[in-house]
Amino acid sequence: MSSTISFYFQDILLYISAIPLIGILFLLLINSEQQKLLKVVALNFSSLPFIGFLFVWGAFKKSVGTFQFVTKILWIPILNLNVVLGIDGISLFFLLLTTFLIPLCILIGWNTIHSNLKGYLISFLLIEFLLIGVFCALDVLMFYILFESILIPMFLVIGIWGSRERKMLASYYFFLYTLLGSVLMLLSILYIYNQVGTTDYEILLTFVFSDFEQKILWFTFFIAFASKVPMVPVHLWLPEAHVEAPTAGSVILAGVLLKLGTYGFIRFSLPLFPQASFYFTPFVYTVSLIGIVYTSLTAIRQTDFKRIIAYTSVAHMNVVMLGIFSFNNVGIEGALLQSLSHGFVASALFVVIGVVYERYKTRLVKYYGGFVHTMPLYVSIFLFFTMANIGLPGTSGFIGEFLIFAGSFKVNSSITFFGATGMILGGCYALWLFNRIAFGNLKSQYVKQTLDINKREFFIFVPLICYTLILGLTPDSYLSSIHMSVNNLVENMYF
């Protein structure tokens, strides 16, 4: 039976990753005037990979900590460079998150994107293809190529379909900050190739670098991943990019692209350079704590709806860093769950912002108020995700943060105490923002007509609500698949 299953799932990752590319080919063949057909085709082809990865999850062996469904394609055999794909419990849920959010992004822009619609849809299918490749890549050079290639479609999404006049500046911010941070990483990959003779990830795991080499290589990888998380002071591109990006662009930025940094730390920095990871832990803790407190306080004084949520994303992702560098199963598993939770909750909050922006064309909080009187369903959904954002028990945010702080407490109780202040500050800015939007008098001099959420918006929120509750109420359905892979990672670090 197991051999039959393995036969059917042989090269499955290759087939799933090809689906968005096939969708792009279909879109290129369709006339640009047929906008309804373009949207239907893009929605179907972006949804199929999610269904595919659900089948992969069903066939995934939870008791195995090594990589599964491995596919190897010879690329440049003479240089020992190959395309290697495979997943473990760590990458599986990032793939599910990616393929879940891309169809929602297409639905979000269903009625709002009209100019150059074909280019918009192709950009999101290309992002989906590249992200699937990033999370499946078992070759460091291939990971780098895909990791950097995502910049191109995201640059276009922000620069072309952004909502305000500063959109080109924001897209350049995003591009330059993240690209320049990765240049040193490329040099390090070339050094690794020169030393080991290959960039195959599984072979690199067996190679031991000297302490000095580990420190240099770790730091170059850190600069690349820290700008993606983002960590202070290389976080400045994120609020600007979020504010100027279309709603779907903000969803994919917060939902998945920020996870590239934390995934990079877990996949590459910790197992390849364990001694350097231990050595630089105080540095990471310091930068993360500064990021949590600084961005939380900055969020409180913002006046732009989107900028507030953007700064909260920075704070949450820095909490994830505390879990990753706890170097124990509990903390790392908490970091993975919090990353998934943030993918659902932050995405939903940006959709919440997009709902009112589509109607009233402003994101300044001062123009809103009293929506509880006229938009009760909208306010109820906003309240649910506000509570999830501050870690209400029963939601996904609580489970992730609890495990992170339980893991970091084993290492350093002081770090846990200061990190937990982010939860207190998070409650301050989240509830204050909700209070200003939902309660008080309706500001009829600015908003003359209010419309509650429509059917399309409702069906965007429903799966986000369901997954936030499922992850919060039944976390073991996720943890059981993650546990062996995390255990294998921790064992490799210590032994």
Of the CA atoms within 13 Å of residue 48, those in its CB half-sphere come to 18
The answer to whether residue 260 sits within a structural domain is no
- Domain, as residue range, for 488: 282-495
Q: Is the pLDDT of residue 221 over 90?
A: yes
Stretch 19-36: mean pLDDT: 92
Q: What are 318-345's pLDDT values in tens digits?
A: 999 999 999 999 999 999 999 999 999 9
Q: Is the pLDDT of residue 8 over 70?
A: no
Q: Is the pLDDT of residue 56 over 60?
A: yes
Q: What percent of the chain has pLDDT over 70?
A: 96
Stretch 145-165: mean pLDDT: 85
The answer to whether residue 478 sits within a structural domain is yes
Tokens for 199, please give them: 């960039």
* Phi, psi angle pair for 301, to nearest 5°: -95, 5
The answer to whether residue 350 sits within a structural domain is yes
The answer to whether residue 9 sits within a structural domain is no
Q: Contact at 8 Å (CB) between 251 and 104?
A: yes
Q: What is the mean pLDDT of the chain?
A: 88
Indicate yes or no: pTM above 0.85.
yes
Predicted pLDDT of residue 359? 83
Q: 137-151, 226-240, 379-393: lowest mean pLDDT where? A: 226-240
Domain count, the chain: 1
The answer to whether residue 458 sits within a structural domain is yes
Q: What are 87-111's pLDDT values in tens digits?
A: 999 999 999 999 999 999 999 988 8
Predicted pLDDT of residue 3? 46
Q: What are 355-385's pLDDT values in tens digits?
A: 888 888 888 888 888 888 888 999 999 999 9
Q: Contact at 8 Å (CB) between 376 and 454?
A: no
The answer to whether residue 316 sits within a structural domain is yes
Q: Is the pLDDT of residue 227 over 90?
A: no
The DSSP letter of residue 294 is H
Measured distance CA(456)–CA(462) in Å, rounded:
10
Predicted pLDDT of residue 172? 78
Q: Confidence band (pLDDT; 50, 70, 90) for 447?
A: low
Q: What are 256-305's pLDDT values in tens digits?
A: 988 999 999 999 999 999 999 999 999 999 999 998 988 888 888 888 88
The answer to whether residue 184 sits within a structural domain is no
End-to-end CA, the chain = 35
The answer to whether residue 276 sits within a structural domain is no
Q: Is the pLDDT of residue 473 over 60?
A: yes
